[in-house]
Amino acid sequence: MSEQNALRLLAETAEDLEVIAAAVQDSVVKAGGLRYEARKNRFSLELNRFRWEAGQPRAKEGVRVRSLLAFDGVLGAKTRAVTKADPELILSLLAATFTPADEPPGGTVTLLFAGDGEITLDVEVLDATLLDSDYVWPTRNLPSHEQRRR
With a CB cutoff of 8 Å and minimum separation 6, the contacts of 58 are 1
Q: pLDDT tier at 56 (50, 70, 90 boundaries)?
A: low
Read off the amino acid at residue 66.
R
CA–CA distance, 62 with 142 (Å, rounded to integer): 7
Residue closest to 142 by CA, chosen among 56, 16, 78 = 56
pTM of the model: 0.89
Q: pLDDT tier at 3 (50, 70, 90 boundaries)?
A: low
- pLDDT tens for each residue of 102-148: 988 999 999 999 999 999 999 999 999 999 999 999 887 767 655 54
Q: What is the mean pLDDT of residues 43-59?
A: 83
The whole-number pLDDT of residue 5 equals: 84
Q: What is the mean pLDDT of residues 40-45?
A: 98
